[in-house]
Amino acid sequence: MPADEILISETEIQTRLPALAAEVNAALPDGPVHIVMILKGAIIFGVDLARALMRNATLGFLAASSYGAGTESKGRVQIDTEHLGEIEGRNVLLIDDILDTGHTFAKTIDILKSKRPASLRTCVLMDKPARREVDIHADHVGFAIENHFVVGYGLDCDEAYRTLPDIRIYAPE
Domain harbouring 70, CATH code: 3.40.50.2020
Q: Domain for residue 153, yes or no? A: no
- Residue positions annotated with a catalytic role: 100
Q: Domain for residue 158, yes or no? A: no
Q: Domain for residue 157, yes or no? A: no
3-state secondary structure of 111: helix
Q: Domain for residue 62, yes or no? A: yes
Q: Which of 72, 66, 121, 57 is nearest to 92 (CA)?
A: 121
Q: Domain for residue 58, yes or no? A: yes
Q: What is the pLDDT of residue 75?
A: 59
Question: C-alpha distances in angstroms, 160 versus 1, 13, 70, 122, 167?
Answer: 11, 20, 11, 26, 13
Cβ distance 137 to 105 under 8 Å?
A: no
Chain centroid to CA 75: 18
Chain centroid to CA 93: 11
At 129-160, the pLDDT tens digits run: 999 999 999 999 999 999 999 999 999 998 99
At 26-64, the pLDDT tens digits run: 999 999 999 999 999 999 999 999 999 999 999 999 998
Q: Which residue has the higher pLDDT, 40 or 3?
A: 40
Q: What is the pLDDT of residue 150?
A: 96
Residue-number span of the structural domain to which 118 is assigned: 12-148
DSSP string for 55-85 = S-EEEEEEEEES--SSSS--S--EEE-TT--
Q: Which pLDDT band, with edges at 50, 70 and 90, does 80 fall under?
A: confident
Query: Under 8 Å CB-to-CB from 38, ≥6 apart: which residues?
Result: 61, 62, 63, 64, 94, 95, 96, 97, 104, 108
- H or E segment to which residue 25 belongs: helix 10-27
Average pLDDT over residues 90-96: 98
Q: Domain for residue 6, yes or no? A: no
**Mean pLDDT over all residues of the chain?**
92
Residue 112 scores a pLDDT above 70? yes
Q: Which of 58-62, 77-81, 104-108 has the lowest mean pLDDT?
A: 77-81
Count of structural domains, the chain: 1
At 9-22, the pLDDT tens digits run: 999 999 999 999 99
